[in-house]
Amino acid sequence: MFFHVKELQYRAKPDKPDPIYAKKLQEVLGGQFGEISVMMQYLFQGWNCRAEKKYRDMLLDIGTEEIAHVEMLATMIAQLLDKAPVEEQEQAAKDPIIASVMGGMNPQHAIVNGLGASPNDSAGYPWNARYTIASGNLLADFRANLNAESQGRLQVVRLYEMTDDKGVRDMLSFLIARDTMHQNQWLAAIAELEEKEGKVVPSTFNRQYEKSDVAYKFISCSEGTESQAGRWAKGPSIDGMGQFEYVENPVGTGQAPELEQAPGYIHGTPKNM
């Protein structure tokens, strides 16, 4: 059960309207790595969690916090749209600069959403549940969560640099700080699970069924050998179960593919023409 508290988790009030920036801010609301994505990802991971209760509780803690971040961004976007469509359009006939600004806003903010936010990205593409991951394997999921927070924080930092509005920057600085915590949180949870299960997902698969001769070979499949200088090409493997080996000139071990002729009802191209 969820309860809504009327006060926002943190301030979300711009200094002045800016419809173009409202369009940009849609990315971290409804984009692939936006707050709606992580909100849904963490909540479904939590609701589906069959592991220790602490992991379920942690996932639902952070998933619920992300609902608060969605509310903050939606509130900020709505306030960035305040007065802009009417007052600035009236001024547009007199000032070509303002006309240019109005031309860059998202028209759906006025036409469809009534000067409000929408679950879309900055290009107007609708939010998609395919952005989310909830596999049931917590180590795999937590690594996906770390990536989501890394990409999300990167985008919020870029948006911070795109505005001089002190009110907007104030809210974004809060979100950036929370993304710092969330990255650290996932790193800690990943380290804890890796200590219990090992680093390779899934840990429950019987390793004797792997083709062990290629399990730790880095295969160079492009021109140049610069990649052999990396940690992944030599020395003990990260999982502690083998030695990395660099293969400069790989040779395939499979057959040369030769497909049978398709039956006549397929109406494909015959082999011998």
| Model confidence, pTM | 0.88
Computed over every residue of the chain, the mean pLDDT equals 91
Beta strands 243-247 and 235-236: pairing type? antiparallel
> Does one domain contain both 23 and 51?
yes
Name the nearest CA neighbour of 152 among 137, 131, 135, 134. Answer: 131
Tell me, what's the pLDDT at 207?
86
Which two three-digit tokens encode residue 1? 């059960």
**pLDDT 10s digits, 56-97:** 999 999 999 999 999 999 999 999 998 765 555 555 545 555
> Does one domain contain both 54 and 139?
yes
Q: What is the DSSP letter of 245?
A: E
Q: 37-46, 158-167, 247-256 — which is least confidently predicted? A: 247-256
- Domain residue limits at 161: 19-197
Cα 206 → chain centroid: 31
**pLDDT 10s digits, 218-231:** 999 999 999 999 99
The helix or strand, by DSSP H or E, that contains position 84, with its residue range, turns out to be none
State the pLDDT confidence band at 153, using cuts at 50, 70 and 90: very high
In-domain check, residue 262:
no
Q: 75-84, 108-117, 131-140 — which is least confidently predicted? A: 108-117
Residues in the chain: 273
Backbone angles phi, psi at 174, to 5 degrees: -65, -45
Number of structural domains (the chain) is: 2
**pLDDT 10s digits, 170-212:** 999 999 999 999 999 999 999 999 999 999 999 888 888 898 8
Cα separation, 14 vs 84, in Å, equals 13
In-domain check, residue 190:
yes
Q: 20-29, 108-117, 145-154, 233-242 — which is least confidently predicted? A: 108-117
- For the chain, count helices (H), then strands (E): 9, 3
In-domain check, residue 8:
no
In-domain check, residue 84:
yes
Does residue 22 surpass a pLDDT of 80?
yes
Name the nearest CA neighbour of 51 among 182, 130, 142. Answer: 142
Q: Identify the bridge partners of residue 243 per DSSP, sorted by sequence position.
A: 236
> Does one domain contain both 193 and 212?
no
> Does one domain contain both 73 and 161?
yes
- The more confidently predicted of residues 208 and 255 is 255
> Does one domain contain both 173 and 56?
yes
In-domain check, residue 255:
no
Query: Of the candidates 197, 226, 256, which is a domain's last residue?
Result: 197
Tell me, what's the pLDDT at 93?
47
Query: Of the candidates 170, 197, 224, which is a domain's last residue?
Result: 197
> Does one domain contain both 165 and 243?
no
